[in-house]
Structure 1
Amino acid sequence: MAVKPYPIDEILDKVDSIYEAIIIVAKRARQIHDDLRLEYNQRLETLKALTALPESEDETEGPANPDQLKLSIEFEKRPKPVELALDELRAGKISYRYKENINPFAKDTQGGS
């Protein structure tokens, strides 16, 4: 896997600081990873259902399924979630917002006792 440098200037044009960019990209990469894992598991279950063999109690580890190996290789060749998230940030496809700063320990300033 080759290292692909990203121009920091393009990233900083989209966000206020590099730390903010790291948080945004990391959260988006997790979302992408979860979607890819869900897709992989669904396709794997479909594949297992199509090629289901009667299980014997003696056989715990069978031969490798070539279709399953092909599926694994297909998912390994896809771009990594962090790379996809960085590309989305550079293209302006990621929208983000800040949580409202709610401090549960703040004193009530409205005089309600």
Structure 2
Amino acid sequence: MSIKPVDMERFYQSAGNIYEAIVVTAKRARQVHDELQLELNQRLETIKQLTQAPTTTENEEDLENVGVNPDQLKISLEFETRPKATDVALDEVNAGKVTWRVKDAPEPPKE
């Protein structure tokens, strides 16, 4: 995995406030990660259901002899080659695909 430098000037221009942009990017990265994790779990669960192994085994050797499912390995490798959630979020913020709003801070009560 190589290091990808971020052009902070471009990042600042696309966001206006650098601190807000960092928070928005982090939250979007969490959303992207959760979406990818959900998709991976769904696909692995489908594979698991299709190739249901017997759950009752009397020997530990039987568990060791169970091979790696090639479909499961293929799916795992596919997800490893996908871009990381942080990279996706940075690209979306820089491209202007992410919109956000700042909640107005409540004013303190006047006496």
**TM-score range for the pair, normalised by the shorter chain length:** 0.7 to 0.9
Pair 1:88-2:92 in alignment: yes
**Normalising by structure 1, what TM-score?**
0.84
Q: Distance in 2 between matches of 1:45 and 1:15?
A: 39
The residue type equivalent to 2:82 in the other structure is R
Instruction: Please report how far the alpha carbon of residue 7 of structure 1 lies from its aligned counterpart in structure 2 after TM superposition.
Output: 1.3
Q: Could you tell me which residue of structure 2 aligns to residue 14 of structure 1?
A: 14
Instruction: Please report how far the alpha carbon of residue 10 of structure 1 lies from its aligned counterpart in structure 2 after TM superposition.
Output: 1.1
Identity %: 49
Instruction: Please report how far the alpha carbon of residue 96 of structure 1 lies from its aligned counterpart in structure 2 after TM superposition.
Output: 0.5
Q: Could you tell me which residue of structure 2 aligns to residue 56 of structure 1?
A: 56
RMSD across aligned positions (CA): 1.8
3-state SS of the aligned residue for 1:13? Answer: helix
5+ unaligned residues in a row in structure 2: which ranges? none
5+ unaligned residues in a row in structure 1: which ranges? none
Correspondence for 1:101 among 77, 99, 105: 105
Q: Distance in 2 between matches of 1:23 and 1:76?
A: 25
Aligned length: 107
Q: Could you tell me which residue of structure 1 aligns to residue 40 of structure 2?
A: 40
Instruction: Please report how far the alpha carbon of residue 17 of structure 1 lies from its aligned counterpart in structure 2 after TM superposition.
Output: 2.9
Question: Would you identify which runs of 4 or more consecutive aligned residues in structure 1 move more than 6 Å?
Answer: none
Please give the per-residue CA displacement for 1:56-87, whole angstroms capped at 9, x wherever unaligned.
23355533212111111100100000000000
**Normalising by structure 2, what TM-score?**
0.85
Q: Distance in 2 between matches of 1:25 and 1:67?
A: 33
Write 1 or 2 for the structure with the bigger share of helix: 2
Instruction: Please report how far the alpha carbon of residue 51 of structure 1 lies from its aligned counterpart in structure 2 after TM superposition.
Output: 1.1
